[in-house]
Amino acid sequence: MLTKYKYPIIIILFLINILGFWYINLRVYTIDKIEIPHARLAETLKDLTIVHISDMHIRRDGIYSHRIQKSINSLEPDILFVTGDLIKGPEKIDEALEFFSHVKSRFGIFYVPGNYDHTYADLNKVLDLFDGLQRLGVHVLFNRSLRCTVIRDGQTRSFYISGIDDLVTFHDDIDDALSGCTEDLPAILLSHSPKIFKKAVAHDVDVVLSGHTHGGQIYIPYITQRLTRKYFIGSYLKGYHYTQGTHIFINRGLGASLVPVRLFALPQIAVLEFT
Ligand SMILES: [Fe+2]
């Protein structure tokens, strides 16, 4: 009996395996502690919980977004950085705003747009997204800097959060983004695309936080790195890197673009620790 159905059973088990693997790679995210060795920021941001998310590409069902929102709130962030690509299309704007209406971050949420945020909604819809975020109190950084002062345990600490608009869609202006920053205080630059890194190094930026790459999304060692480096993202695909005084962390993001598939590039929430 079993012998008769051997091959169909093997095929069904194989398909279940594939579906399970596909589901895990798309839906199971890791919460990773990322150490960035930067003494000035370590002193300035001491004892603060800093969370970084990217590339949610919010989907139709709200279950995944709800889980992410609960995970972020359970971390009790003092600062939440969001490096773009909230949506996958204009119909997801309401879901994106709903998500941020439930996310809590003690000293604020700081967001820069990604290429999907700009291109997958018409102009009015884009404004719906950006205006909606600002109405919720999210700091939307279109090529500008904010001087932030945190008072905790009687101590006053200041630093800059700079945000560059998306360079993939040619909205970036690094000079505007960094204008107002002074050398006496450390600065963190948010940029959806890590391709900004060369310019950031040339401008002596302390730390860049990026996304965009989805860690390769479908990560085949060597091949993905080669292709994306050549055509899309510049030198780095994911994780922490350092060059000539400038640090960069590239978040793997939480969603998927183009096709709903991720492989060997698990979604990620990052908790940044400056040391
Ligand atoms: Fe993305």
- What are the sequence ranges of the domains in the chain? 30-274
CA 261 / ligand 1 centre spacing (Å): 13
CA 166 / ligand 1 centre spacing (Å): 11
Can you give the pLDDT at residue 164? 97
Q: Where are the beta strands (DSSP E) in the chain?
A: 30-36, 50-53, 79-82, 109-111, 139-140, 144-152, 155-164, 187-191, 207-210, 239-243, 246-250, 268-274
248-266 burial code (b ≥16 CB/10 A, e <16): bbbbbbbbbbeeeebeebb
Q: Under a CB-based contact definition with an 8 Å cutoff, are residues 81 and 190 in contact? A: yes
CA 18 / ligand 1 centre spacing (Å): 24
Can you give the pLDDT at residue 88? 81
- The pLDDT tens digits for 55-73 are 999 876 678 889 999 999 9
245 CB-near residues (< 8 Å, 6+ apart): 201, 204, 206
Kind of pairing between the strands at 268-274 and 187-191: unpaired
Question: Two tokens at 246?
Answer: 């400038």
Check whether 1 has a pLDDT greater than 70. Answer: no
CA 235 / ligand 1 centre spacing (Å): 17
CA 90 / ligand 1 centre spacing (Å): 15
Kind of pairing between the strands at 246-250 and 109-111: unpaired
Can you give the pLDDT at residue 265? 84
Can you give the pLDDT at residue 60? 64
In whole angstroms, give the CA distance from residue 117 to residue 139: 15
Predicted TM-score (pTM) of the model is 0.90
CA 6 to the chain's CA centroid: 46
What dotted CATH number matches 30-274? 3.60.21.10
The type of residue at 234 is G
